Amino acid sequence: MTTPPLATSILVLGPPLVFKAYETEFSEKFNFLKPWKTPIPLPQFIATHSANVGAIFCSAVSPVTAEIIQSLPELRFVLASSTGVNHIDLRECERRGIVVANAGSTFSDDVADMAVGLLIDVVKRISAGNRLVKARVWPCEGDYTIARNKLGGKRVGIVGLGNIGLHIATRLNAMGCIISYTSRTMKPHVTFPFYPAIHQLVANSDILVISCALTKQTHHMIDRDVMLILGKEGVIINVARGAIINEKELVECLVKGEIGGAGLDVFENEPNFPEELFGLDNIVLTPHHGAVTEEACRNLYDHICKNLDALLSNKPLECEVMNM
């Protein structure tokens, strides 16, 4: 257990779950500033320590605003515990030459598993069946026990074919789904059909799975128009970021039955949920925990230590976010 000399301190924002899980191990290796442990308001805390902060380590829901960045003159590095970096002001980082790195593919397979799990759950009504059983209403009248649809043969449109999207495609392909995708660019070495525009993809899909980054271009990309094309039997799964979907319009479409169902691990204003959906059986909502497994947490800890070590010894970092 070496304790490398630190020219500057690392400001932890959130804190990320991995930091809470490995706080002792982290603290033995690096010098962290933990604003949540003091009663001092964050801006004042930052002002007090501003000369010492060389790096920020942040959770997926802790904004790293231009204001915070500007108040830290020595900041050289922002490390996200998440894959998405939409909560970091990348433009300001670029302007200042601050390096941003994310979690890379640390939990791509976990998030893909979550997407597949949510999809099967919605299509085969697992949570709904579970609720029904525990409410003691089985056996019941009518056709409730008919799970809505077969998964095999369904056309699944994947929005964003990065690491996570590719893992999702592989899994659903093995289940007999017919995969196509849209992405910023057509992927080399990928044989699934590519549609450059979201509307083309949706017109050829029964199910949409969202696994792209949240950017200005993808913000509210899935709106009422897209949902109406998807249609009454259509299902939307989102394991990326809530704001890629216009949540207000999603709620309307679900409540009115204009789309068939949804499985959502992410929301537009976390931890707030659209409560209008709570009573609907064709909706499955999970608290943004797709990425969070014990093993991924351990891997993320290793990944972050490696990056902090690299930072301290001026070596190249892993998983720098290149595409701002």
Among 28, 170, 269, 276, binds a second copy (CB under 8 A): 170
Pick out residues in 30-59 that bind a second copy (CB under 8 A): none
Residue 67 or 302 with smaller CB distance to a second copy: 302
Q: At residue 170, what are phi and psi to the nearest 5 degrees?
A: -60, -45
- Cβ count near 48 (within 10 Å): 13
For the chain, how far is it from start to end, CA to CA, in angstroms?
36
Contact 204, 195 (CB under 8 A): yes
Q: Which residues contact 23 (CB under 8 A, 6 or more apart)?
A: none
- Of 27-35, 90-98, 171-179, 246-254, the window that binds a second copy (rule: CB under 8 A) is 171-179
Residue 46 or 156 with smaller CB distance to a second copy: 156
Cβ at position 166, least distance to a second copy in Å: 12
User: Residues 241, 247, 249, 268: which is the catalytic one?
Assistant: 241
For the chain, give the number of residues: 324
Contact 248, 262 (CB under 8 A): no
241 given a catalytic annotation: yes
Q: At residue 110, what are phi and psi to the nearest 5 degrees?
A: -65, -45
The answer to whether residue 282 forms part of the interface with a second copy (CB under 8 A) is no
Contact 123, 148 (CB under 8 A): yes
Cβ at position 106, least distance to a second copy in Å: 11
288 given a catalytic annotation: yes
Dist. CA 49–CA 175, nearest whole Å: 53
Among 5, 39, 97, 146, binds a second copy (CB under 8 A): 146
Cα 178 to the center of its chain, rounded Å: 24
136 given a catalytic annotation: no
Give CA torsion, residues 312, 314, 315, 316, to 10 deg: 100
Among 58, 296, 300, 311, binds a second copy (CB under 8 A): 296
The answer to whether residue 225 forms part of the interface with a second copy (CB under 8 A) is no
The answer to whether residue 17 forms part of the interface with a second copy (CB under 8 A) is yes
Cβ at position 69, least distance to a second copy in Å: 26
Pick out residues in 106-135 that bind a second copy (CB under 8 A): 109-110, 113-114, 116-118, 120-121, 123-127, 129-134
The answer to whether residue 87 forms part of the interface with a second copy (CB under 8 A) is no
* Nearest C-alpha neighbor of 108 from the set 227, 209, 207, 240: 240
Among 27, 38, 48, 173, binds a second copy (CB under 8 A): 173
Q: How many residues bind a second copy (CB under 8 A)?
A: 58
The answer to whether residue 3 forms part of the interface with a second copy (CB under 8 A) is no
The residues annotated with a catalytic role in the active site are: 241, 270, 288
